Structure 1
Amino acid sequence: MSTKPCLSQASQEQGWYTHFNIDLIVKVLSYTILHPFVAWMIPLSLCAQLTPYSHLSLQLSVAYASLLTALFIFSLIDKRIAYGPPRDVDVSEEIIVITGGASGLGLLLAQVYGMRGASVAVLDVNRVNEESRGITFYNCDVGDKSQVEQAADAIRVDLGTPTILINNAGIVHGKPMLELAADEVERNFRVNLLSHFNTIQNFLPGMLEAGHGTIVTVASVLGHLGSANLSDYTSAKAGLIAMHRSLQAELRCSNHKSASNIKTVLCTPGQLNTPLFAGLQTPSAFLAPVVEPVDLAKEIIKLVDAGEGGEISLPFYAKWIPWLNVLPAGLQRIVRAMSGLDSAMEAMHTRKKSQ
């Protein structure tokens, strides 16, 4: 299997300007005028020019830099309260289980960690077509509890006790509710939701005994939104978000001495540039750009390597989607219509039926 990143159809047909979007602007601002270190350069430069302390420009620049510094410190304190202190991570000593690791985001994560010396177990019904360093493949339907139990036993014998679990497996039918067959609905929930229960119940006890671990839940921003022609998929993703928060609460309230050293990471990305949503045209390449798997992988690896818990929402708009539910119902409907969320999936479904 080629590891060359797949480009969306829109990216192939359009020019360089498709990469200019709100996320790029926010990233540039976060490293410049919105960064506390950069902000303090302004009053320091003014002082170097012997600007009087009573001058308005110096006072405003100090106030602005102080505000950014206070917000930065507050965010650090908030993160520590929410997720606790980080755990020590030595990648070469970690045993990582990745579901849905035969392609897309899962394969990318498996290859990165395999090359870095970690022992990686991939659980998937599709086999990886190439041998990769550090990766061991286990043919497993993660929606089947008995198969997960068998794979877990084999992993413990072959590699040892897993300390990092990345639940990434997912499927999409992309059909209206009335066109979904009963077996399709059942398979959706087995793969997209029940698989997380199967893997966590099999691997979390070992992490608690080992004294440390990290569990990554790959959900979707659609779990907050719902979408036409994705009722089964979005229901499962909403369930994942609730399950993840419940898991956090159980670990926080647990009397087990190692529970506080089990870190949890929740990912709620927007549209990923993977075969799962092939053919879906993003409503706005500027406000809602398609997320490349490598970008999401970088964020996951960053948190896991740091031994931290947290939440990852890409692109920028995904961070603010939960606030949409605070708006009046009528305004929510207007926002949905303007975003093109439901019409995009309908267009995708229409194209699939015509093929």
Structure 2
Amino acid sequence: MDEDRWHSHITIDLIARVLNRSIFHPFVAWLVPLCLRAVATPYAAPEFSASCFWASIVTLATVAAYLDRRIAYGVPRQVDWDHEVVVITGGASGLGKIMAEMYGMRGASVAILDVQKPSKESEGLSGVHFYPCDVGDAGAVEKGSVQIAKDLGQPTILINNAGIVHGKPLLDLTPAELQRNFNINLLSHFHTIRAFLPGMLESQQGRGGTIVTVSSVLGKLGASHLSDYTAAKAGLIAMHASLRAELASRNAPPGAQNIRTILVTPGQLNTSLFAKVVPPSPFFGPVVEPVELARDIVRMVDAGESGEISLPLYARWIDWMQILPAGMQRLARWVSGVDRAMEASGRSSKNVSKSGTG
């Protein structure tokens, strides 16, 4: 089988990671001229001049990227795990469960909001608190937030991860399915932010908080058989941008400067949400392992930073597709197979998958 061949694990993302840790890394780039000088290469030698030029370009690009992040998102907030309380929606399975396990193994205060209770086979979930809650119901979220604050303290990290998929053509979707889709995939984010953000703004000692919005690259692309899902995910991207603008505005409430926001737009995840979908191009669009994405989210939350996380590599640059002429965009969609993937999965119209995102 192809997946057993050595080259089946080589993807453009793997190549990019290797390059970023070698010739595109400032430290490694400067090792080359240093090694040349160590063997007495003259300063005027072409290879020495070229290596210094390359190392300078890489260093300037790295510094520029750092300054760009600081200008866009400001300085990180101080994360104190003696006082942090993490809330994860959809934490009973998939990506949410992995993040709950990561924080649970640290002994952090973690609350899961989900309609199904997670199994406790993982040691990381032994100390995690579960609150049965339909996050699409504003009243249930408000009730859950009060109980969490009473049991664990005021939440400071909110990871909005809950999601569902129907995988049907638009005309096959029932009104009930449409309502459920938007309740879980979109409105739940409004409910949880309205419930937990006020406490973050009023947190003592200016600790602030972090809000993670788990959307999808499909919110930027759209896809056949996923009109309801992609519409909700596109709404999350717009909501996140608007929230950032409100927190940074002149009339923002006190404490808004201490709130950090993270937007997550992954491609296809290896979870039950799109388990039957075969990626059209495993090299250019590999399936993302939830552990890998969870690690990046946890790392940025721990650093107290705002920002965007997009995996795999193409998800970071997909916005550029919009500048192509309409005919080129259609050709790109046909080549990528994005509109054939869900249809080819053979998903039953009665099956609804629940997980983090995709």
Return the TM-score normalized by structure 1: 0.94
Query: % of aligned pairs identical?
Result: 59
Query: Could you tell me how far apart the structure 2 residues matched to 1:292 and 1:334 are?
Result: 28
Could you tell me whether the CA contact under 8 Å between 1:92 and 1:116 is conserved in 2? Answer: no
**Structure 2: 5+ residue stretches without partners:** 352-358
Corresponding residue for 2:137? 144
* 1:231-250 superposed matches below 5 A: 231-250=227-246
Corresponding residue for 1:334? 331
How many Å apart are 1:65 and its aligned residue?
0.4
How many Å apart are 1:92 and its aligned residue?
3.7
Amino acid at match of 2:211: I
Query: Could you tell me how far apart the structure 2 residues matched to 1:35 and 1:257 are?
Result: 40
Corresponding residue for 2:263? 266
How many Å apart are 1:353 and its aligned residue?
5.5
CA distances 1:203-262 after superposition (whole Å, capped 9, x unpaired): 000001113100000000000000000000000000000000111111111443421111
Give the superposed CA RMSD.
1.6
Q: Quick check: 1:171 aligned with 2:167?
A: no
Q: Quick check: 1:73 aligned with 2:70?
A: no
Could you tell me whether the CA contact under 8 Å between 1:156 and 1:162 is conserved in 2? Answer: yes
Corresponding residue for 1:115? 105
How many Å apart are 1:44 and its aligned residue?
1.1
Q: 1:193 to 1:260 in 2, by over 3 A?
A: same
Query: Could you tell me how far apart the structure 2 residues matched to 1:354 and 1:179 are?
Result: 11
Corresponding residue for 2:299? 302
Corresponding residue for 1:287? 284
* 1:40-119 superposed matches below 5 A: 40-119=30-109
Amino acid at match of 1:60: A
Corresponding residue for 1:18? 8
CA distances 1:188-217 after superposition (whole Å, capped 9, x unpaired): 000000000000000000001113100000
Could you tell me whether the CA contact under 8 Å between 1:104 and 1:293 is conserved in 2? Answer: yes
Amino acid at match of 2:185: N
Query: Could you tell me how far apart the structure 2 residues matched to 1:164 and 1:17 are?
Result: 40
Could you tell me whether the CA contact under 8 Å between 1:91 and 1:116 is conserved in 2? Answer: no
Amino acid at match of 1:227: A
For 2:314, which of 306, 314, 317 is the aligned residue? 317
Return the TM-score normalized by structure 2: 0.93
Corresponding residue for 1:227? 223
Corresponding residue for 2:117? 127
Query: Could you tell me how far apart the structure 2 residues matched to 1:117 and 1:75 are?
Result: 34
Could you tell me whether the CA contact under 8 Å between 1:21 and 1:285 is conserved in 2? Answer: yes
Query: Could you tell me how far apart the structure 1 residues matched to 2:128 and 2:347 are?
Result: 37
Query: Could you tell me how far apart the structure 1 residues matched to 2:18 and 2:228 are?
Result: 37
Query: Could you tell me how far apart the structure 2 residues matched to 1:158 and 1:98 are?
Result: 15
How many Å apart are 1:351 and its aligned residue?
4.6
Q: Quick check: 1:156 aligned with 2:152?
A: no
Could you tell me whether the CA contact under 8 Å between 2:168 and 2:349 is conserved in 1? Answer: no
Which one has more relative contact order, counting CA pairs under 8 Å at least 6 apart? 2
Q: Which secondary structure state, in structure 1, belongs to the residue aligned with residue 118 of structure 2?
A: coil
How many Å apart are 1:51 and its aligned residue?
2.0
Give the length in aligned residue pairs: 344
Q: 1:24 to 1:247 in 2, by over 3 A?
A: same
How many Å apart are 1:294 and its aligned residue?
0.1
Query: Could you tell me how far apart the structure 1 residues matched to 2:33 and 2:226 are?
Result: 52
Query: Could you tell me how far apart the structure 1 residues matched to 2:91 and 2:6 are?
Result: 31
Query: Could you tell me how far apart the structure 2 residues matched to 1:289 and 1:188 are?
Result: 26
**Structure 1: 5+ residue stretches without partners:** 1-9
Q: Quick check: 1:35 aligned with 2:25?
A: yes
Q: 1:340 to 1:43 in 2, by over 3 A?
A: same
Query: Could you tell me how far apart the structure 2 residues matched to 1:56 and 1:130 are?
Result: 62
Query: Could you tell me how far apart the structure 1 residues matched to 2:178 and 2:91 are?
Result: 23
